[in-house]
Amino acid sequence: MTDIPEKATTDTPNEIPGVGIVLKGAWKLEKKLGSGSFGDIFLATTLMPKMCNSPLNVAIKFERLDVPKKLLYLETYALVQMQGKPHYAKSYYFGYFGGSTYLARQSVGFRGTVRYASLNAHKGKDLGKVDDLWSLLYIMIEFITGTLPWIKENNRV
Protein backbone atom coordinates (compact mmCIF):
# COMPACT_ATOMS: atom_id res chain seq x y z
CA MET A 1 0.00 0.00 0.00
CA THR A 2 1.21 3.50 -0.71
CA ASP A 3 1.75 6.19 1.88
CA ILE A 4 -1.35 8.08 2.91
CA PRO A 5 -1.55 11.41 1.02
CA GLU A 6 -1.83 14.55 3.13
CA LYS A 7 -4.55 16.41 1.18
CA ALA A 8 -6.35 16.49 -2.13
CA THR A 9 -7.14 19.13 -4.69
CA THR A 10 -10.13 18.75 -6.92
CA ASP A 11 -12.37 20.67 -9.31
CA THR A 12 -15.42 18.52 -8.55
CA PRO A 13 -16.00 18.67 -4.79
CA ASN A 14 -18.85 16.15 -4.55
CA GLU A 15 -17.97 13.63 -7.24
CA ILE A 16 -18.14 9.95 -6.35
CA PRO A 17 -17.71 7.58 -9.30
CA GLY A 18 -20.20 5.01 -10.45
CA VAL A 19 -20.23 1.44 -11.74
CA GLY A 20 -17.89 0.90 -14.68
CA ILE A 21 -15.25 3.44 -13.66
CA VAL A 22 -11.63 2.19 -13.57
CA LEU A 23 -9.39 3.55 -10.81
CA LYS A 24 -5.63 3.86 -11.31
CA GLY A 25 -5.92 1.31 -14.14
CA ALA A 26 -6.15 -1.32 -11.42
CA TRP A 27 -9.74 -1.71 -10.20
CA LYS A 28 -13.05 -1.61 -12.08
CA LEU A 29 -16.14 -0.74 -10.04
CA GLU A 30 -18.65 -3.56 -10.61
CA LYS A 31 -21.48 -3.17 -8.10
CA LYS A 32 -22.57 -0.66 -5.47
CA LEU A 33 -22.73 -2.46 -2.12
CA GLY A 34 -23.97 0.37 0.01
CA SER A 35 -24.39 4.09 0.42
CA GLY A 36 -24.43 6.49 3.32
CA SER A 37 -24.33 10.18 4.13
CA PHE A 38 -20.54 10.32 3.75
CA GLY A 39 -20.03 8.19 0.64
CA ASP A 40 -20.43 4.85 -1.12
CA ILE A 41 -18.94 1.35 -1.09
CA PHE A 42 -18.40 -0.71 -4.24
CA LEU A 43 -17.34 -4.22 -5.11
CA ALA A 44 -14.50 -3.93 -7.63
CA THR A 45 -12.64 -6.35 -9.87
CA THR A 46 -8.85 -6.19 -9.82
CA LEU A 47 -7.63 -5.81 -13.40
CA MET A 48 -3.99 -6.67 -12.60
CA PRO A 49 -4.00 -8.89 -9.48
CA LYS A 50 -0.27 -9.67 -9.48
CA MET A 51 0.81 -6.09 -10.07
CA CYS A 52 -1.63 -4.70 -7.47
CA ASN A 53 -0.88 -7.52 -5.02
CA SER A 54 -4.61 -7.83 -4.39
CA PRO A 55 -7.23 -10.56 -4.86
CA LEU A 56 -9.63 -10.66 -7.80
CA ASN A 57 -12.37 -8.81 -5.87
CA VAL A 58 -11.88 -5.94 -3.44
CA ALA A 59 -14.15 -3.48 -1.67
CA ILE A 60 -13.58 0.18 -2.48
CA LYS A 61 -14.91 2.71 -0.03
CA PHE A 62 -15.39 6.35 -1.10
CA GLU A 63 -15.80 9.40 1.12
CA ARG A 64 -16.68 12.84 -0.26
CA LEU A 65 -14.12 15.56 0.46
CA ASP A 66 -16.80 17.95 1.74
CA VAL A 67 -17.92 15.80 4.69
CA PRO A 68 -17.46 17.49 8.08
CA LYS A 69 -15.69 14.52 9.72
CA LYS A 70 -13.06 12.78 7.63
CA LEU A 71 -13.25 9.19 8.91
CA LEU A 72 -11.86 7.27 5.92
CA TYR A 73 -8.38 8.70 6.48
CA LEU A 74 -8.48 7.48 10.10
CA GLU A 75 -9.80 4.06 9.04
CA THR A 76 -6.98 3.78 6.52
CA TYR A 77 -4.39 4.77 9.10
CA ALA A 78 -5.71 2.12 11.51
CA LEU A 79 -5.69 -0.56 8.80
CA VAL A 80 -2.11 0.33 7.84
CA GLN A 81 -1.06 -0.11 11.48
CA MET A 82 -2.81 -3.49 11.68
CA GLN A 83 -1.53 -4.97 8.40
CA GLY A 84 -0.48 -8.58 8.84
CA LYS A 85 -2.46 -9.03 12.04
CA PRO A 86 -5.34 -11.55 12.10
CA HIS A 87 -8.97 -10.36 11.92
CA TYR A 88 -8.24 -7.10 10.06
CA ALA A 89 -9.04 -6.36 6.43
CA LYS A 90 -5.96 -5.95 4.26
CA SER A 91 -5.69 -2.54 2.64
CA TYR A 92 -4.28 -2.09 -0.86
CA TYR A 93 -4.47 1.59 -1.74
CA PHE A 94 -5.63 4.98 -0.48
CA GLY A 95 -6.07 7.78 -2.99
CA TYR A 96 -8.22 10.48 -4.51
CA PHE A 97 -10.73 10.44 -7.33
CA GLY A 98 -12.38 13.70 -8.33
CA GLY A 99 -14.13 14.97 -5.24
CA SER A 100 -13.62 11.96 -3.00
CA THR A 101 -11.02 9.92 -1.17
CA TYR A 102 -11.09 6.17 -1.55
CA LEU A 103 -9.71 3.07 0.10
CA ALA A 104 -9.25 -0.22 -1.75
CA ARG A 105 -9.36 -3.00 0.82
CA GLN A 106 -10.06 -6.66 1.25
CA SER A 107 -13.72 -7.49 0.82
CA VAL A 108 -14.95 -9.02 4.07
CA GLY A 109 -17.68 -11.60 4.35
CA PHE A 110 -20.33 -12.02 6.98
CA ARG A 111 -19.28 -10.99 10.48
CA GLY A 112 -21.21 -11.64 13.64
CA THR A 113 -23.76 -14.03 15.05
CA VAL A 114 -26.61 -14.78 12.65
CA ARG A 115 -29.21 -14.58 15.42
CA TYR A 116 -28.27 -11.00 16.40
CA ALA A 117 -26.99 -9.66 13.07
CA SER A 118 -28.43 -6.46 11.62
CA LEU A 119 -30.11 -6.43 8.22
CA ASN A 120 -27.01 -4.72 6.80
CA ALA A 121 -24.91 -7.70 7.93
CA HIS A 122 -27.32 -10.15 6.32
CA LYS A 123 -27.25 -8.13 3.08
CA GLY A 124 -23.44 -8.16 3.06
CA LYS A 125 -23.14 -4.39 3.43
CA ASP A 126 -20.39 -2.56 5.25
CA LEU A 127 -21.23 -2.26 8.93
CA GLY A 128 -21.21 0.73 11.24
CA LYS A 129 -22.19 1.82 14.73
CA VAL A 130 -25.91 1.60 13.96
CA ASP A 131 -25.51 -2.13 13.28
CA ASP A 132 -24.08 -2.62 16.77
CA LEU A 133 -27.16 -0.88 18.16
CA TRP A 134 -29.48 -3.17 16.18
CA SER A 135 -27.65 -6.20 17.56
CA LEU A 136 -27.92 -4.83 21.08
CA LEU A 137 -31.66 -4.28 20.57
CA TYR A 138 -32.10 -7.90 19.42
CA ILE A 139 -30.21 -9.15 22.49
CA MET A 140 -32.39 -7.01 24.78
CA ILE A 141 -35.58 -8.28 23.11
CA GLU A 142 -34.44 -11.86 23.61
CA PHE A 143 -33.50 -11.14 27.21
CA ILE A 144 -36.90 -9.58 27.99
CA THR A 145 -39.17 -11.94 26.00
CA GLY A 146 -37.06 -15.09 26.09
CA THR A 147 -37.04 -15.49 22.30
CA LEU A 148 -36.76 -13.75 18.95
CA PRO A 149 -39.42 -13.94 16.21
CA TRP A 150 -36.96 -15.46 13.71
CA ILE A 151 -35.41 -18.03 16.06
CA LYS A 152 -36.85 -21.03 14.15
CA GLU A 153 -35.72 -19.81 10.72
CA ASN A 154 -33.25 -22.15 9.01
CA ASN A 155 -32.01 -19.70 6.39
CA ARG A 156 -28.29 -19.11 6.53
CA VAL A 157 -26.43 -15.95 5.61
The answer to whether the beta carbons of residues 102 and 111 sit under 8 Å apart is: no
What confidence tens digit (pLDDT) does each residue in 82-94 have?
888 877 778 888 8
Supply the pLDDT for residue 10.
38
Could you give all domains of the chain from N- to C-terminal order, each with its CATH number?
22-106 (3.30.200.20), 111-157 (no CATH)
pLDDT of the residue at 19: 87
Mean pLDDT, residues 143-157? 80
- Per-residue pLDDT, averaged over 109-125, amounts to 80
For residue 58, is pLDDT > 70?
Answer: yes
Known binding residue 70? Answer is: no
* Residue 24 burial by Cβ neighbours in a 10 Å radius (0-12, 13-18, 19+): middle
Structure confidence at residue 106 (pLDDT): 77
Residue-level pLDDT at 129: 82
Whole-number pLDDT of residue 142: 93
Report pLDDT digits (tens) over 20-29.
Answer: 888 888 889 9
CA distance 124 to 105: 15
Mean pLDDT calculated for residue range 119-128: 78
Q: What is the pTM of this model?
A: 0.63
